[in-house]
Structure 1
Amino acid sequence: MMHLEELISVMEIPPIARSILSRSLPELDRCILHDPMAPMRRVMGIATLQISATWPQGLRRLLATEARSLLNVSEFPASENDYCTDLSPIYTALKEDCLESVGLLMNAGCQFCFDWERWEYTPDLSHECAAVLASHLAKRRQALLRIAQRRLGIYLSYSPLDVADGIAAQLSSTIWNARIPISPCLIVEPDYATIYHKHQLPIKLFPIFFEKGFWHTKSHDNMGLTPVMVWRAPFWPGKQFSLGQPSETLTWLNN
């Protein structure tokens, strides 16, 4: 059986892709030095950031190039009738439990939201990855609040350090309507209620988000539901589910 290095050497792929697949930082540096636009080229339709999502050292180097503009690319070549799971760098890093890459991508400003199609694997999201994700999302909520306070003079009763998750949708909409430019990663979808209303977020991870400042556990969504009333992903048919910890967490959430 051929080793990965041998297989890569005989494959007809661009040098930039070969350097990423072989996890060779010196080779990656040579590719970029020789052709600064190489990181922007796709390999069989896949962007370099997608390929390097689980290789933090290479990902960090690529984020310092023009490839940073591909931060949110998620397309993956597939035939017309094929179902295609999202393969954006951040979701790939989370799925593969690559903590350092998650931090790098969130720091770089990648967009993130809990989406059912992308999050079919959330029950497997590790506590460590969830903590990194929660920390960065908390900073984004704080940034959104500070912009509203400083630029529009609203929600001044909130501390600038508050993780204003329960009013994130209102903040985002108000700032957008005021035509104040903000990073796309701060924008929250109009129907967003709180992180706990996202049924894709496993119940077992709730305490992690609470520890990071997401305290709006009793807020209502646009249907009047509190988080404890929301139908959860682990309850869907086909999902492995144990009543132990989720039951305890639901009790904690309701108190």
Structure 2
Amino acid sequence: MTPTILIVEDEPKLVELLALYLQAEHFQTVSVGDGTEVRAAIQAHQPDLVLLDLMLPGKDGLAVCKDIRQHSDLPIIMVTAKVEELDRLLGLELGADDYICKPYSPREVVARVKAVLRRRRTPQSNAGSEHSALYIDESTYTAKLDGVLLDLTPVEFRLFALFARSPGHIYSRDRLLALIYDDHRIVTDRTVDSHIKNLRRKLQAIRPEQDLIKSIYGVGYRYEDDPVNSTT
């Protein structure tokens, strides 16, 4: 079946442009320009993904995202005009699957849509399969990349497992600190950067041609690779 994308955007020219590019890649599109119309549009069209602008009349994107997440795990890509707003979105952890900053390339939006849908359709667990490109067993703190055992510290392992569970998801430094230090110790952003640097070095020793952990300037980090096969 052809996937349907709901475009929630109040700028008609942007809606027309996004719809044109998405339809060229064999997506169906529907659109609304007011946040109060989103719930009815979801019920009427059953979209496979929502492209959700932050600044909307009627009800803003933050409120719309919260409303969707109360009753659905429908994939959401949030669109915002400022990096500062993106950082705030990440801090709120609203449950969006990805975030895009304006101005953007329509081709990038299409690529992000495809990536999110691909991740959602790919089984995230294949217990016992150690022959995949990436294998993580959180019960034994074992991680392998391309069949090579990774020698990771406990913090590096927690970071890697977190990234690998949600490839493509952007994590702010504050959010990473909260997730990897569950004892709520006081550490600085530089501590996260140091762990990321060490983790990158160990990954690049196996894949020197590929930077698996991307820095998103002014925001945080994103892991980019095939979905993980893991046991927990």
Name the TM-score, length of structure 1 as normaliser. Answer: 0.31
Could you say which structure has the larger radius of gyration?
Answer: 1
| More strand by percentage | 2
Considering Cα pairs closer than 8 Å and 6+ residues apart, tell me whether 1 or 2 has the greater RCO.
Answer: 2
Structure holding more helix per residue: 1
